[in-house]
Amino acid sequence: MSDISLSDLEATTPHRTRLQLALRKPGFLIGVAIIGFSSLLAIAPGLFAPYDPNFIDYNAVRQPPSWAHPFGTDMLGRDSLSRVISAYTVNMQMALLATIFALIIGVAVGAFVGYYRGVADIIFGRLVDAIITFPFLVLVIAVVAVLGPGLINMYIAITMVGWVYYARLTRAEVITQMGNDYAAAGIVMGYSDRRIIFRHLLPNAITPVIVYWMTDMALAILLGSSLGYLGLGAQPPQSEWGVLIAEGRNFITTAWWLSLMPGVAIVMTGLGFSLIGDGLADLLRPRG
């Protein structure tokens, strides 16, 4: 007989089942591959960029895609492929830094409000109503316009607005979990509020938040690129997809590759995060 007990088998079977399910989902695996490769490009762009992204060659101005320059060159003769690869560092940074602080603040506020309810919940409700009345992009642009253009101010603006959506979702999940027997048992047994919230409620309520976070990273890249295009995000000569698209807009009929290639990078990276989010939603969904 094996030394593995029945309880051990029961504990490990769900994890094995979820892993097997993940391996059967091509969309999830494609998303992981896209984001994994994108992260590698962001961490070490110099290993993949064939040229210095800021090297100017006036003898190669606006050349179409070729073997020497697969993505063509820009109005200063800079290699577009190298600039698109270099932009991965900034845009993947956007995906993380534009959402991580909103995630942390929103989860903390949502857990607090969902657990204690009362006056805090009423105030939170009025605050949410006031913020979501306005379109997200309009609020972010307004905050950036006040603070000034630049990546840091963009992160601050997105965090100031975006935490509300994480807080709403966390609050709803915590309230749902509060209706379960284990939450009531923890209160009866005299557990501290902090222990109940962080060791019992949040671990069971965090799954939808993580799934939303993956999707929000894709939206953060799109938003950051939009602000870069408008001149409110990353600033030239820094390589960023929105900035690259803006630089090529005046040559769209004669040098279409200048705007097309960074646009493809935005779509592919956003697709990767979306596929991971969809896969996690299926994998982490409670199963009867």
User: So what's the pLDDT on residue 87?
Assistant: 95
Residues 6+ apart with CB under 8 A from 144: 153, 154, 157, 227, 232, 233
Rounded Cα distance, 15 and 20, in Å:
9
Tokens 């896969």 belong to residue = 279
Rounded Cα distance, 255 and 62, in Å:
6
Residue 217 CB-density burial (10 A; 0-12 exposed, 13-18 middle, 19+ buried): buried
Rounded Cα distance, 253 and 239, in Å:
22
Residue 2 pLDDT more than 60? no
**Spatial contact of 235 and 81, defined as CB atoms under 8 Å apart:** no
- Note the pLDDT tens digit of each residue in 90-143: 999 999 999 999 999 999 999 999 999 889 899 999 999 888 888 888 899 999
Query: Which of the four pLDDT bands, split at 50, 70 and 90, describes residue 21?
Result: low
User: So what's the pLDDT on residue 287?
Assistant: 57
User: So what's the pLDDT on residue 5?
Assistant: 40
DSSP state of 63: P
* Chain mean position to CA 92: 8
**Spatial contact of 263 and 245, defined as CB atoms under 8 Å apart:** yes
Residue 281 CB-density burial (10 A; 0-12 exposed, 13-18 middle, 19+ buried): middle
Query: Mean pLDDT throughout 50-67?
Result: 92
- The residue ranking higher by pLDDT, 64 or 8, is 64
User: So what's the pLDDT on residue 285?
Assistant: 66
- Note the pLDDT tens digit of each residue in 131-174: 888 888 889 999 998 999 989 999 999 999 999 999 999 999 99
What is the residue-averaged pLDDT of the chain? 87
Q: pTM here? A: 0.85
22 half-sphere exposure, CB direction, 13 A CA radius: 16
Tokens 């642009």 belong to residue = 141
User: So what's the pLDDT on residue 78?
Assistant: 94
Tell me, what amino acid is at 10?
Answer: E
